[in-house]
Amino acid sequence: MNETELAYTSAVDLAAMIRKRDVSPVEVAELFLTRIKASQPALNAFLAIAGERAVAEARAAEALVMRGGADLPPLLGVPYTVKDLIDTEGVRTTYASLALADNIPAADGVTVARMKQSGAVMLAKTTTPEFGHKPMNEAPIFGKTHNPWDLQRTCGGSSGGSGAAVAAGLGPLSIGTDAGGSTRIPAACCGIVGIKATLGRVPHDIAPDAFGNFANQGPMARTVADAALMLQVLSGSDPRDPHSHGLPDGNYVAAARGEGDLKGLRVAWRPRMGNRLVDPEILAACEDMLSVLRDLGAVVEELDEPLENAEPHWLVITQSLWVARFEHLLDKWGDKLTPTLARGIKEGADYTAVELQRAVVWRTQLFRRVQQWFGQHDLLVTPTLARTALDIDHDFYAPVRIAGEEAGSIRQNWYPYTHPFNMTGHPAITIPCGWMSDGLPAAFQIVGPLMGEERMLRVAAMLEAARPWAHKRPSVPGLNV
């Protein structure tokens, strides 16, 4: 197997090869570190490269392999990357902000600690907009991250560096975060898999509002099986996250085998979620996925009842929290903060307590409405984005164009499908559903009932088997395809 083939080997297969001693964890880590450095001029997907830590963890993995035994951890020697909103012991963690440019955490965040316990090898910290505040992957501390399928397009955000890295063969797994779509948007832009699990399924140990939280940490990978294995490692309660307690365990690895058929499965299809325009090419690609579901025995029904766009209510809650978290930075760092973040903090300061509570009430109403949908259907499916990746220089406050027509604001019109399920806590996975005429991937979102990850993953794996995507590879300057 040549180095390029090894770089695109799935995490599941790589773990098996390492266990059989077909490949050395140290050689694997060194290969990916070399690729990461070679990719930086073109993609700019990393804020910090953890070379010393990676080699040390790879050597420890190799020692375990050589010792042998049946108790080897599930991701032993498998490389991964981490979004720079998650703490990493001894490795620079900036939150993409100049205000934290020299921050070196004393301990790993819970998800990183679990990956380490599973034997995985941490390679690097991936880029994100400052404090993860928007879906365009750029910040004063690093510049812009490019989409590996087209360097003139955004990779999405806020887990954009992770999306670009996985798609470009710079590590088979990455930990992303998702408070409004931040795992699913870049996964969709970059043609990979992204999971936002049931709220609390993967604990969030640093959420500033633990009780009102709707942010998540979770897997990004090229295949459903890899994402499921990673979810198996990351899930489970943590004393710092009140939402993480009492959730039953699931067998996600088994679910991702995609066995059997879908006879009797009731699927609701929502082509719109409070938006007007969707690219016809994307709708056609999603309709093809619906045809696969029908062929497998599922009953698919369009759910077209009117729905208010969730973004205005999400924005009140989110920007109010930005004020509480970041307002103190305006005086000292105002001219060095990302302008869109500074503007968002100032906008948040104008909301009243009553407006905030109305948004919280609306969130509850949305939750109950979605629960009603799942009373009639087993799964809900949507596009993930209403169009492919935007131009990398697109002004965040400028309207987006969809199918040649001006649609309106980015959040409400490009990704109206993601915010709602952060607010309700339901699990969602995005998978590729084809490459469009502009050469960029489109994506299909599957939403499950609360704690319905196994059902969601099983269907995603069956769709992957029918319409595979992991064989597709972008051509990135500095890297061999």
144 catalytically annotated:
no
Distance separating alpha carbons of residues 396 and 92, to the nearest angstrom: 28
Helices assigned H by DSSP within 180-251: 184-190, 224-234
For 462, phi and psi rounded to 5 degrees?
-70, -40
Distance separating alpha carbons of residues 103 and 83, to the nearest angstrom: 15
Distance separating alpha carbons of residues 95 and 204, to the nearest angstrom: 16
Question: Of 363, 362, 380, 354, whose CA–CA distance to 459 is shortest?
Answer: 380
Q: Is the dihedral of CA 29, 30, 35, 37 positive or negative?
A: positive
Contact 17, 64 (CB under 8 A): no
Tokens matching residue 74: 């599930």
Backbone region of residue 404 per phi and psi (left: phi > 0; alpha: psi in -120 to 50; beta: other values): left
235 catalytically annotated:
no
179-211 burial code (b ≥16 CB/10 A, e <16):
bbbbbbbbbbbbbbbbbbbbbbbbbbbebeeee
Beta bridge partners of 82: 125, 175
Distance separating alpha carbons of residues 338 and 308, to the nearest angstrom: 30
- Active-site residue among 162, 174, 182, 320? 182
Question: Of 26, 56, 55, 32, whose CA–CA distance to 45 is shortest?
Answer: 32
Contact 121, 29 (CB under 8 A): yes
Rg (CA), the chain: 21
For 162, phi and psi rounded to 5 degrees?
-65, -45
E strand spans, 98-170: 121-126, 138-139, 143-144, 146-147, 150-154
Tokens matching residue 131: 């404090």
Q: Which amino acid belongs to residue 230? A: M
Contact 429, 456 (CB under 8 A): yes
Question: Of 433, 406, 175, whose CA–CA distance to 277 is shortest?
Answer: 406
Contact 125, 89 (CB under 8 A): no
- Active-site residue among 39, 158, 162, 235? 158
83 catalytically annotated:
yes
Contact 229, 12 (CB under 8 A): yes
Tokens matching residue 350: 């104008």
- Active-site residue among 24, 39, 83, 144? 83
Distance separating alpha carbons of residues 124 and 122, to the nearest angstrom: 6
* Residues involved in catalysis: 83, 158, 182
